[in-house]
């Protein structure tokens, strides 16, 4: 997951941001109602 993360500078640190596909995988594994809603939103955004 770290290899596909996008790195964004935030002040004096670099913050890794998860790739959309990895975020969907994590949310699917959690399976909470809000995660499932987030998955639908993320998938609707396309590439």
Q: What is the pLDDT of residue 46?
A: 79
Report residue 1's pLDDT band, with 50, 70 and 90 as the boundaries. confident
Q: Which residue range(s) make up the domain with 30?
A: 6-45
Residues 22 and 37 sit within 8 Å (Cβ to Cβ): no
Residue 39 lies in a domain: yes
Residue 22 half-sphere exposure toward CB, CA atoms < 13 A: 10
Q: For 2-47, what is each residue's pLDDT tens digit?
A: 899 999 999 999 999 999 999 999 999 999 999 999 999 999 997 7
- What's the pLDDT at 24? 97
Find out whether 27 and 39 touch, Cβ atoms under 8 Å.
Answer: yes
Number of compact structural domains in the chain: 1
The answer to whether position 20 is within a domain reads yes
Residue carrying the six token digits 């996008």: 6
Is this prediction's pTM over 0.85?
A: no
């Amino acid at each position: 997951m770290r290899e596909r993360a996008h790195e964004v500078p935030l002040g004096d640190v670099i913050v890794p941001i998860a790739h959309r596909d990895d975020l969907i995988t994590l949310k699917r594994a959690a399976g909470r109602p809000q995660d499932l809603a987030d998955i639908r939103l993320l998938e609707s955004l396309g590439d």
